[in-house]
Structure 1
Amino acid sequence: MAIKQLGYVVIETAKADVWRDYMTQVVGAMSADESADGAAHYRVDDRVFRFRIVDSDVERLAAAAYEVDSRGSLDELAGKIEAAERDVAWGDDAGASIRGVEAYFSTSDPAGNGLEFYVGDAKSDQPFVSPQDVSGFVTGEFGMGHAVFAAPDFEKSHAFYRDTIGFHDTDLPHFRFSPDPEDPGMRFAFMHADNGRHHALAIGEMPQNPASCVHLMLEMKNVSDVGKCHDRMRGAGVEESASIGRHQNDQTLGFYMKTPSGFDLEIGCDSLVIDPGSWKATAHGQPSEWGHVWSWQKAMEESESTQ
């Protein structure tokens, strides 16, 4: 059984119009045909969609959906998840058709974060054309990017993703964000699927948030695309969550911005490609080589300067 990639995400929102402008005017994604159930779909490559935006009265990431390598693997995985005492809800044919998959089921991790697993993947016969002239997004065998979740019960969630689902440890750091020796810090697990992307999923030892997501990540093909997206973010008045910087573990150069539903979207480039078969887990001591000044850090600095 192999987890191939992060295939798509499902977002519930009462701000579908805001999401439309955000995806097309800021991110540079392409609107796809409206789904049979009225949800809005957005593309960043040749897949029928990578973002599924569903009307709701809540703001949250409903599911990060991961592709497995076969129908047999999908059935096996469903059994393992049920044995781990997590609910499994199989989707019907209509739901599978809407998603461009052959079969899928929904579940959640021990922290309640939404997941889907599926087999089969449909491609569009229409070429991807960014409305903002983004030269392209790095997807293909690497999947659409990665998702990061809060995991208050860190050890239980880590074991679920590693032992039950089948993700593999890439980096297991313990970050401390202050000089206080009493600061307990936060453990993280960056985990890869069976491809060269450094991580398709990560969890952090932190309280759960209402959006059921810390951030999603999209990788663009070059730094010029990233810089232009940063300019579009500023021009549209979108809140910057973290300034441009380079991560230490996956070497991604990029920035973070708020989505209309409250969680963050990381836009980056030049990410490290690993050999998933031979990689040995690391434990980096800090999140970034440089940059990535977070909005909460700026707020603290401004408060201190005022005082």
Structure 2
Amino acid sequence: MTTRPDVFGSVHLGYLVVETEKFTDWRRFGTDAIGMHHDDLSRDLMRFRLDDHACRFLLRRGPAEDVVALGWHLDDHTTFERIEARVRAHGVPAVAGTAEEAKLRGVERLLRFPGPKGIAQEIYTTPLTSSEPLRMRASGWVTGDSGMGHVAITSARPALMRGYFDTVFDARLTDYIDETIGGVKLKIRFLRVNERHHSIAVAAVQGLPIDPVRTRVQHVNIQAASLDDLARSYRRVHELGFDMALSVGQHTNDKELSYYARTPSGFEWEVGWNPLVIDESTWEPGTHQGISIWGHTPVGRTILDRLGQFRLGARSLLHPEKTVPALSGAGIPDD
């Protein structure tokens, strides 16, 4: 039996593409509140930077108010070709990005293919760097071998989603969290593709095939370089009048200190600091009860918000979640 080459460790979350009509609000949120570097490209395009990479967030004008693509930085062309071969071998269409699309994302050699919940997956090898000095309110952000952070996605088909990221990127299960929020029981699966505790988190309502979140992505995370950066951005979010979703707290599994703000598009934005780094030689998956050791208190949440979530969950039954069965296998059941 031939074992396929493993690409784990050679994959890193590199950028996100957001579609929005709220450019003015996003500019204030990303630059003045969170503290990232901002570049206007045109009336319909802008970018945020965290480091010397030319692009970490590409915002394009459109109605989705959501994350529409994830970009994955691969270590080399061999890894690129292995992943491309996997996708095509399963009969899934993969399209090379145009030179203009690659330039906007600050990358060379771009390939796009379908992903869960309609979020396009894009892979690339060489990121373009910028010599322009960073203009940021933050002292810096942690990227490097861990990638630029993580995304969390709610799903009514969590086994298929886990199967997808295993098939494409050889993702490994880090751990689980069992949590009850507003009387709803959730199981959250944390998947890693490198030393970062997780690059993808998949949250599902236990026992019910519903999705209580409007957006395809529930939250996006970036990692602050210092505790002072986290505290200062938390204060700026409040002072500038942006909604806070969860106050500062510490997670049970990766021990990250963080808070969650609401973006102008509606999904949440987590700024974190000091999560643990996985040691592959010793790590064993486990289950934690509750997302937080302390803090992460909901801010300004009312009964109307909870009713709205239940309505969204009920509505999701009428609109089946987009999956990519050919790349998901039979799905990976819980261990």
TM-score of the superposition, structure 1-length normalised? 0.87
Aligned to 2:196: 197
Q: Distance in 2 between matches of 1:237 and 1:167?
A: 38
Q: Does 1:34 align with 2:33?
A: no
Deviates more, 1:87-96 or 1:229-238: 87-96
Q: Distance in 1 between matches of 2:95 and 2:282?
A: 34
Distance 1:61 1:301, change over 3 A: closer
Q: Read off the aligned partner of 2:94 and give its amino acid letter.
A: V
Deviations 1:23-57 (A, max 9, x none): 1110111113627x952011111111211110112
- Aligned mate of 1:168, from 143, 156, 172: 172
**Correspondence 1:99-118 to 2 at 5 A:** 99-118=105-124
Distance 1:83 1:153, change over 3 A: farther
Cα deviation for residue 216 of structure 1 reads 0.4
1:111/1:153 contact within 8 Å kept: no
Deviates more, 1:263-272 or 1:115-124: 115-124
Aligned to 1:292: 296
- Aligned mate of 2:148, from 141, 144, 151: 144
Distance 1:209 1:107, change over 3 A: farther
Distance 1:84 1:149, change over 3 A: farther
- Aligned mate of 2:13, from 6, 24, 27: 6
Aligned to 2:22: 15
Q: Distance in 2 between matches of 1:114 and 1:291?
A: 34
Deviations 1:167-186 (A, max 9, x none): 111112333336x7xx6x22
- Aligned mate of 2:265, from 245, 261, 265: 261
Cα deviation for residue 90 of structure 1 reads 2.0
Q: Does 1:47 align with 2:53?
A: yes
- Aligned-residue sequence identity (percent) comes to 27
Aligned to 1:247: 251
1:198/1:274 contact within 8 Å kept: yes
Distance 1:74 1:278, change over 3 A: farther
Q: Distance in 2 between matches of 1:278 and 1:116?
A: 31
Aligned to 1:92: 98
Cα deviation for residue 87 of structure 1 reads 3.8
CA RMSD of aligned residues (A): 2.4
Secondary structure of residue in 2 paired with 1:34: strand
Distance 1:211 1:301, change over 3 A: closer
2:58/2:104 contact within 8 Å kept: no
1:113/1:149 contact within 8 Å kept: no
Secondary structure of residue in 1 paired with 2:141: coil
1:169/1:191 contact within 8 Å kept: yes
Deviations 1:60-107 (A, max 9, x none): 101121112222322321232344454422212222222222212223
Q: Distance in 2 between matches of 1:108 and 1:165?
A: 14
Structure 1 segments unaligned to the other structure (5+ residues)? none
Distance 1:250 1:301, change over 3 A: farther
1:162/1:169 contact within 8 Å kept: no
Distance 1:175 1:92, change over 3 A: same
Distance 1:302 1:43, change over 3 A: closer
1:19/1:260 contact within 8 Å kept: yes
Q: Does 1:222 align with 2:229?
A: no
Distance 1:302 1:141, change over 3 A: closer
Structure 2 segments unaligned to the other structure (5+ residues)? 1-6, 206-210, 307-335
Q: Distance in 2 between matches of 1:273 and 1:232?
A: 28
Q: Read off the aligned partner of 2:18 and give its amino acid letter.
A: I
Q: Distance in 2 between matches of 1:80 and 1:13?
A: 32
Secondary structure of residue in 1 paired with 2:53: coil
Deviations 1:93-123 (A, max 9, x none): 2222222222122233333333222111121
Q: Does 1:72 align with 2:74?
A: no
1:60/1:210 contact within 8 Å kept: no
2:11/2:169 contact within 8 Å kept: no
Q: Does 1:212 align with 2:216?
A: yes
Cα deviation for residue 18 of structure 1 reads 1.2
Distance 1:45 1:276, change over 3 A: farther
2:68/2:118 contact within 8 Å kept: no
Q: Read off the aligned partner of 1:203 and give its amino acid letter.
A: V
Q: Distance in 1 between matches of 2:264 and 2:115?
A: 24
Q: Read off the aligned partner of 1:147 and give its amino acid letter.
A: V
Aligned to 1:156: 160
